[in-house]
Amino acid sequence: MIINGEKLERVEVSSSFARSPVKFAYETSSRSSGGVRLGSLRLDAEEVSIPITLYKEKGETWDDVIEELTSVLYTEEFVRISFSHGNHSRYYKAKVIALEITEEYYHNAYGNVVIAFDDQRMFGEEKTIEVSTENTLHVITGQDKTPWEISLRFSENTDKFELTTNSGLYLLLGYEFIEGDSLTIKYEGREVLLNGRDLRHSIRLKSNFEYLYPGKVTVSASHNCEMKYDERYY
């Protein structure tokens, strides 16, 4: 088991554990003629119990081991959790909410770690798209839609920032930007920050905030900028 990139040497996830613990389901509705109509896909699992083996050294007690592990596993914030089985670079944002020991022996014990998800998809690498003033084709990687963040520093005075795609995402911000201003726009929370200050109520904003979807997308902007996103996987 790997927490924030660090492997827990005392904890080994059972080989019987599925690489992707998230379960999928479909919204359903009844047909007037009988039967069921399948609707949109949803992710069902919010908590998952993971079978583990624990190890201790000579002279240690299981109470010692549990005390050491709980100081690492229990966190206030969601952390990156991944497993030795599968791709180590992909992770879940989750919290450990329980550590259970069901069988104790001299050198090893068996039990479960229970995790709760912040987002039930796996996260992959952070990707950066260099957006220019020319229409440029890029490929969004991953398996599922993902939020994004745009950042730039103005090289000259201007009264707007505009970003256009062929996938529905469109941004038009009207403001008296000056050379050296730093602008950040985030899909999550619809944040617009100018030099770190919230600008949402001070600008003229005509935009269509859309996720980035896997596949090809054409992007251009009125000023060179960076668009970042995290790959998301099922």
Q: Which of 57-61, 126-130, 174-178, 227-231 has the lowest mean pLDDT?
A: 57-61
Domain extent at residue 15: 2-120
Residue 110 domain-assigned (yes or no): yes
Of the pLDDT bands very low, low, confident and very high (cuts 50, 70, 90), residue 166 is very high
Q: How many domains does the chain have?
A: 2
Q: Is the pLDDT of residue 44 over 60?
A: no
Beta-carbon contacts of residue 116 (< 8 Å; ≥ 6 apart): 46, 47, 94, 95, 97
Residue 142 domain-assigned (yes or no): yes
Residue 127 domain-assigned (yes or no): no
pLDDT at position 177 is: 95
Report, as an integer, the average pLDDT of 120-145. 94
Q: Is the pLDDT of residue 25 over 70?
A: no
Pair 112, 96: CB distance under 8 Å: no
Which is more confident, 83 or 116? 116
Q: Quick one: 87 and 162 in the same domain? A: no
Residues listed for the chain: 234
Tens digits of residue pLDDT in 67-90: 999 999 999 899 999 886 667 788
Q: Is the pLDDT of residue 131 over 90?
A: yes
Domain boundary among 95, 120, 145: 120
Q: What is the CATH number of the domain that holds 26?
A: 2.40.30.200
Q: Quick one: 103 and 150 in the same domain? A: no
Q: Quick one: 105 and 204 in the same domain? A: no
Residue 126 domain-assigned (yes or no): no
Q: What is the CATH number of the domain that holds 168?
A: 2.60.120.860
